[in-house]
Amino acid sequence: MGSLFRKKGHKNWGINLSVYPHDQEKRTLLLSQAPIAVRKNVLRPTKNYSPQGETLSFSVDNAQNWTVEVISNCSAWPRKLKKEAEQWCFKVPLEGGTTVFIPQFEMARALFFKNVYLSRSCLDHGILDREFGIEYDEFDPEHVTVRVRELTTCADNMFKDYSYRRFLAWVLLDPEARRSYESISRLQINTGNSLGLYQIWDFQFEPPSMRGAMLKVRGNWDRDTNTFFVYEVSGIGNIAANVPEEVDFVSPKFFTLESGGGSSGGGPAERPPEHEVEDESGESKENYPVILQGNATIFEFAKSFNTRKAATKTKKSGNRGDGESTQAPNEVSTEEQGPDGMLPSADWDGLDDQTEDTNLYESRFASFFKMLEILESKHDCEVVKLGTRKLPKIGRCNGHTMRDDCTPRVWTAVKVSFDRASFYLLEVDMSDATKPLSTKVINATVGDKLIEQRIDFETRLLKNSLNWPKAYLDEVCGASNHFFIVHPKTKKTGQIAMDDIERWAANVYRNLLRQR
C-alpha cells in the first residue's frame, strides 16, 4: 500500500496499491473502501482463504510514546516494494524483546475506518463540527445529547445500529479519540504535497494513548531479528472510553416506527453472494445501503455506555417479518450519490463490537425478576438466573433492536425448581410493543438442548417475527413439553403494579404445579 492521492479539483481520495497477480487492473482503491484495505487480503474472494502470517497479542502502555519509522527500516517487511517503502509505521518495543512495526494506515483503519462514512470523512477537515452538535446536560454530567444536523452525509443505518452508534459516540465525545481522528485531516493539510495534477500524501496520524488496551495483530515475524511487521490489526480490546453513561442521538429526520399501516410488501431485496463495487458510479439516494462484509475488527470498550436514537416523530410501518424477496443487482456503489446516481448504495461493516453491555438492559426485566423473588419467598421455589443475551442481527431483520430507540432487544432465561421438578422460563423484552409476548415455559428434562442451542433458537425467534417458534420447539423439546403463561394486563406497556406481580407469581406457580 502506497501514498494517498487526489486529483486537484476532485473530492475523492484514493489509495495506491500493489496487487498480485501483477496483471490485475485493480491498482487503486477509493478511501471509502478503506475497511478492506488490508495487506495480504484477497479483495474479491471467490472462496474462503486462510489469513497469511502469524498472530501476536500485546498490551499497550501508551501509544503516544510510540516512535515513528518508515516501512523500509523494518527488517520483517516481506516485500521490498518501492511504492510503500516511505510509508509511515509505528515502532513498538515489547517487553520480551520483540519489536513490532504497525503501518500507520493499518492502525487508523482498525481504530476508525469501520464504514464508508468514517473512512472518507477522515480527510474532510471540520466535518464532525459541521455535522454534529454536542449538548452536555448541565444537571446530569452522565448524559449528553448529540444533535445530528439535517444535512449530514452520515447514512441513517449508522444510527439504527447500536454498535455503530456507540462507536460514533466514542469518536465524537472521547477527547483522545476525537483528537486522533481529526489529526488525519490536519496532518494531510500540513504535510501533503502536489505532484502535477495530483495531491499526494503519505498517511500519518496521532493515535490515542490506548493505555491498557490489548492489540491482536497478524503479520510477518522475522525470528532472526525478532521484528514483527503487521499486516492487520484484527482486534482492540479493553479500550478506554471517556464518554458519559447515557448518549442520545437526535435529529429532525429520525422517527419511531409504529405498528400498522398495512404490509410493507415483499421482503428486503435478496443480495447476490458477490458484489461488484463500482468506484466511479454514484450511489442512488433512494436505496437503503447494502451492507458489505469488510475486514471487521474486534472492538471491545473497557466500560459499557448506553446510546439511544431519540425521535419525536412517528411513522406507520408494515410487517417487519419475512416476505417474498427479489433479486437485487450485483453492482453497488460506496460513493456519495451524484445527480445521475443509479446504483444501490453500499456500506462496509468493519466493526465487530464485543463490548460486554448486557448490564445496561437487565432493568427491563425488573417486573419479571420481582415475580421470581416472590416465587422464592412465598412458594419455596429455587431460581437460578442463566443470563441475559442480546438478540443477534439476522440479515436485514430489524427485530433485534427496539422500535422506539434502536437499542438492543434482549431476552433472559431462568431455571425454576421445586419438589424435584424443574422448568426453564424464557422472557423476551417486548416493552416497545403494544402486545407483550407470553412467558415461555419448557420442561427442564428436555430443555437443556434448547439452552445449548440458544443461537439457533434466537434465529428462529427473529425469523418468526418475535413469536415463539412453535414448530421448532415441538421438534427440539416435544409438543407436550412446552407451554406459555400470559402476562398480567397493564395500563402502561412494561409496567406492572406490585399487586399484579404477586398474582402473576401465583399464576406461574399454579401452572408449573399442573405440569410437574
Interatomic CA distance for residues 384 and 415, integer angstroms: 5
If you average pLDDT over each of 204-218, 265-279, 285-299, 379-393, which comes out highest?
204-218
Which whole number is the average pLDDT over 470-492? Answer: 90
Residues 6+ apart with CB under 8 A from 371: 501, 504, 505, 508
User: Given this model, what pLDDT does residue 321 score?
Assistant: 44
Which whole number is the average pLDDT over 172-187? Answer: 98
- pLDDT per position as a tens digit, 57-70: 999 999 999 999 99
Output the pTM of the full model: 0.84
Residues of the chain above pLDDT 70, percent: 84
> What's the pLDDT band for 325 if we cut at 50, 70, 90?
very low
User: Given this model, what pLDDT does residue 185 score?
Assistant: 97
Q: Is residue 214 helix, strand or coil? A: strand
What is the residue type of 249? F
If you average pLDDT over each of 199-208, 332-341, 490-499, which comes out highest?
199-208
Interatomic CA distance for residues 74 and 431, integer angstroms: 56
Which whole number is the average pLDDT over 185-193? Answer: 96
> What's the pLDDT band for 316 if we cut at 50, 70, 90?
low
User: Given this model, what pLDDT does residue 472 score?
Assistant: 95
- pLDDT per position as a tens digit, 120-140: 999 999 999 999 999 999 999
pLDDT at 313 over 60: yes
Interatomic CA distance for residues 395 and 322, integer angstroms: 11
User: Given this model, what pLDDT does residue 197 score?
Assistant: 94
pLDDT at 157 over 50: yes
Which whole number is the average pLDDT over 34-52? Answer: 82
DSSP assignments along 394-419, one per residue: -TT--TTB-TTT-PBPEEEEEEEEET
Interatomic CA distance for residues 6 and 48, integer angstroms: 33
